[in-house]
Structures are given as C-alpha cells and as structure tokens.
Amino acid sequence: MTLVLLVFIPLAGGLIAGWMGGKDSTACRWISLGALGLDALLALGLAFHYLGGSGNPGDSRWFIEWSQPWIPQFGISFHFAMDGLSLVMVLLTLFLGLIGVGASWTEIQERVGFFHFNFLWILSGVLGVFLAMDLFLFFFFWEVMLVPMYLLIRIWGHENRRYAAVKFFLFTQASGLLMLISIVALALLHPGNGQGVTFDYNVFLQNPLHGPAAKWIMLGFFVAFATKLPAFPFHPWLADAHTEAPTAGSIILAGILLKTGAYGMLRFILPLFPTAVHEFSTTAMILGVIGILYAAILAFAQDDMKRLVAYTSVSHMGFVLLGIFAGTDFALKGVVIQMICHGLSAGAQFMLVGALYERIHTRDMRKMGGLWDAIPGFGVATMFFAMASLGLPGLGNFVAEFMILVGSFQVAPKLTILATLGLIAATLYSLRLIRRAFHGPRQDEKAYPDLTLRERALNGAFALGLIWLGVYPQPAINAVTPTLKSIQSSAATPMAEHNAISGESQ
C-alpha cells in the first residue's frame, strides 16, 4: 500500500497546488515542496527499513510488492514492486524533484499553480514507471509522464518552445507506440502462466522468450528506450527539449526522464530477451560509442550553453548504453552509478545555466566572457560540475565511467578504447564551456548578484551527492547488487562467462 501512496502523493499535491494556484502563487510552491518532502520521507523510511542502514540488503530481491487486479480479462493488474534498483531511482527522482521546485522558486511567475500541477504529475508518472511491475501499467505511466512534460516545455519554455515541445512529444510517443506493439506481442505470444493472457513481469521473467519473435519484440523495446535514453540515431529531440525547457523542466528531464530509458533497458530488455540481447549487444555497444563521440563533437561546437550541456547528457548516456549491453557485473553496477551521478551533475549544470539566464538573460556564450570577476561563486560551482561531467576522479562520474569501461573492456576491448577517447572529448567541451563563459576579458561592466543562499544550498546538495558517490559509492552499489545479480543470472548467456574476474556465482 505504501507504494501506491508513494506514487500518488505527488499527484495529490499537484492537484491541490493546481487548485490553489489561482489564489496565491507562493502557497502552491510550498504545497508542492510539502508533497515532495512527504514522499521523500516515505522513500527514505523504506530505504532505511529495507537497506538495513548498512547498505547490504537481504538476499530476497523484491522489498515490497502490491498487486490489485485492474483488467482481469487481459491479466493486467496494478502491480507495484520495489527492489534495490527502483528504490535508488525513486530516491533520485524525489531528490531532483525537490531541487526542481527549489530552483524554479523565482523563475516561474505566471500560472504557477498549473506549473506545479504539471511538474508533480510528471514526477508521479516517473515514480509509476520505476515501480510498475505490470507491462501494461508500465506503458500507462510511460505515456502519462509525457503530456505534462510537453505542456511544461510548451507553456513555460523559452523562444522556440513550440517546435521543441512537439519534437520531444513526437519522438518519445512514436517510439512508445512501437513499444506498445512489442508489449502486446510479448503478452500474446508468450505461453503465459496457464490462465490465458497476462502482462505480469514475473511471468515473463521465469521463462524468457527466444527465437526470431523475441528479436523483433526486443527491437521494439530497444527503440523506445533508446529514444528516451537518448542513443545515437534517436537523439535530436534532446537538444531542443533541453534548450527550451524551463529550469525545473530541464533538471527533471535530464535527471530522471533520461534514466527511465536506461532503467527500462535494465528491467525489461536484459532479463526478458537474453538470446536476442546477446546477438544485438555488439550493435548496441557500437551505437553507444558513436553516441559518446558524436555527441561530444556536437557539444564542443555549440554556442548555446544549455544546448552544450544537453549534448553532454547524450554523451554520458552513450556510456550507459555501452555499459548495459556489455552486461558484465562491473558494467551494470557502473551504469547504475552513472545514472545517479549524471542525474546530479547534469541537473546541477542546468540549474546553474538557468540561474545564469535569470541574471544575464542570455544563454549564448558568444555574449559572455570573464564572468569570474563578476560572479566568482558561479565560477566555482560551474567549474566543480564541469569537472564532474568530464569525469574528474574523486567524484561520482569517474567511478561510474571507470566501472563501465572496465566492464565493457572485458567484453569488447577495442570498442572500449574508442569509448575512452570520449573522456578526452569530455575534457574538450567542459573546458570550452568554462573558457568561453568565465575566463577571458569581460564584455560588459554590469554588476550581477552572485549565488543567493538558496542557490548555494541547492548546489551544495548536488556537490555533496557527487562527492559522496565519488568517495564512498558502496551503499549505492550494495543496494542494487541483488537486482543486478538476478538480471545477470536470467541473462545467463555466453556474456556471463566474461565475468571471470568478478567471480560472480551464476
């Protein structure tokens, strides 16, 4: 029951905030903050309860499960379940949600109620995605989180928000529909558990599908998750969506929505279609590496700061794709850490760019220069998160990228060497960002206010998260170990032999 509460508290909060919005705007900001805070407390309570504080959960994979029949004719049920992976993702979602509300405190002025309504609706959609264990319910939440995001970009976005909003929606929705066909095909073609059609995840987990049908179904899933990730050929929507979204939108878009793609791959593609994944893994890894390098080159050339950070997200997600389809124990754990760290570092960078936009009213780096004099606090923060995004050791991103690259080195050494070039490319675009914005001569002599206390607190929270994961990532790794072990064991394919060094008992 707590899971249902977890998913629907933000929605309730959103409704109240939407309703209050008309009257006074500050009230609905506090309501949404309250709703998210309550939800975060609930999630933390679950975390401490199940992770036993010391960060190594018991061997049973699912912490809690809750199921209620919804459309019995099709064997569809409200089936929520939480394990290590979804717990970590839920915590990240709520953390970034709180930050998002904090970041848009001064930015959103008109129709604040409706903004918070949409914002919280997205969050409950995402929470639903992370907790849904019934494929139909998963698709239901997958689509539910799109419409409010579209409205968020469309109404509160920047200059050409119309184009960006439509592009975002079409890309994700079209690929989502492909996934719908795959889900239904999987449900109908799968022998099921004897009582006719079912959409339950565990049924598909027990005896995964093999043969050519599995290949096509897996491709349907892959296209949807790759578009959301975004992987190489499906990535163009991200740059526009990020550039035009309001700060809070960008934070959760980069922080969480991209992770639903990666989460989907981990949860649905790897365990449900082992043979198909094995044949497809090399192509997917190649796509990942292309994604890393191609997006890095793109990021290097951008003039718009937000667009640059958006392409960096594509590059980081290239690592995730590489790691997932490498499939080794190292890589999968690295992927989870990367998802968290990228959420933090990209979220922080977007927040900073948003705050900068509030001050100098432009995101075009050609009009910036030497801002370190005017706003040194900003300089330090941007430098810190730029270093995080280029994978400076001591911060979470490095640990994640190191583990992913080691994991994929076991499976495909040559590809990994190409991917490691991505680290150099990351340095190029991060330094260019700092160089063009903060170094060099000043272009105008106006005085700008430096980071306010609120902004310092938010940046501090992000920085602490990254340092904690950089220096002591073990609790996060332990939380997801049982999930990843079962993902690997069900994906008991030739890939598993490569885990010679990790000595995982298959």
Contact between 435 and another protein per CB under 8 A: yes
CA 257, distance to chain mean position in Å, is 5
Q: What's the min distance (Å) between Cβ of 126 and another protein?
A: 14
Among 150, 273, 350, 462, binds another protein (CB under 8 A): 150
Among 1, 23, 60, 73, binds another protein (CB under 8 A): 73
Among 5, 181, 457, 492, binds another protein (CB under 8 A): 181
Say how far apart CA 228 and CA 221 lie, in whole Å.
11
Among 50, 95, 119, 169, binds another protein (CB under 8 A): 169
Say how far apart CA 334 and CA 191 lie, in whole Å.
34
Q: Which stretch binds another protein (CB under 8 A): 43-51, 91-99, 349-357, 390-398?
A: 390-398
Mask 118-137, x = binds another protein (CB under 8 A)? ------------------x-
Contact between 472 and another protein per CB under 8 A: yes
Q: What sign does the CA torsion over 364, 368, 374, 376 have?
A: positive
Q: Is the CB of residue 423 less than 8 Å from the CB of residue 322?
A: no
Residue 327 neighbours by CB under 8 Å, 6+ apart: 270, 277, 281, 411, 488, 491, 493, 495, 496, 498
Q: Is the CB of residue 333 less than 8 Å from the CB of residue 409?
A: no
Among 12, 144, 219, 496, binds another protein (CB under 8 A): 144
Pair of tokens at residue 34: 């309250």
Mask 352-371, x = binds another protein (CB under 8 A)? ------------------x-
Closer of 277 and 403 to another protein (Cβ):
403
Which residues, numbered 473-502, are part of the site for another protein (CB under 8 A)? 473-474, 477, 499, 501-502
Amino acid, res. 157? G
Alpha helices in 52-160 (DSSP H): 84-103, 112-131, 135-144, 146-156
Q: Which stretch binds another protein (CB under 8 A): 270-278, 280-288, 327-335, 358-366?
A: 327-335
> Tokens 């990209």 identify what position?
346
Say how far apart CA 335 and CA 477 lie, in whole Å.
10
Closer of 279 and 373 to another protein (Cβ):
373
Contact between 162 and another protein per CB under 8 A: yes
Contact between 4 and another protein per CB under 8 A: no
Say how far apart CA 10 and CA 66 lie, in whole Å.
19
Contact between 236 and another protein per CB under 8 A: yes
Q: Which stretch binds another protein (CB under 8 A): 42-50, 146-154, 255-263, 319-327?
A: 146-154
Q: Is the CB of residue 14 less than 8 Å from the CB of residue 116?
A: yes
- Please count the residues of this chain forming the interface with another protein, following the rule CB under 8 A: 90
Say how far apart CA 124 and CA 148 lie, in whole Å.
11
Q: Which stretch binds another protein (CB under 8 A): 45-53, 87-95, 162-170, 253-261?
A: 162-170
Contact between 8 and another protein per CB under 8 A: no
Q: Which stretch binds another protein (CB under 8 A): 68-76, 241-249, 250-258, 489-497?
A: 68-76
Please tell me what DSSP assigns to residue 198: -
Contact between 464 and another protein per CB under 8 A: no
Contact between 44 and another protein per CB under 8 A: no
Say how far apart CA 353 and CA 243 lie, in whole Å.
10
Q: What's the min distance (Å) between Cβ of 174 and another protein?
A: 4
Say how far apart CA 455 and CA 354 lie, in whole Å.
11
Among 4, 27, 185, 205, binds another protein (CB under 8 A): 185
Distances (CA, A) of 416 to 261, 318, 421: 22, 12, 9
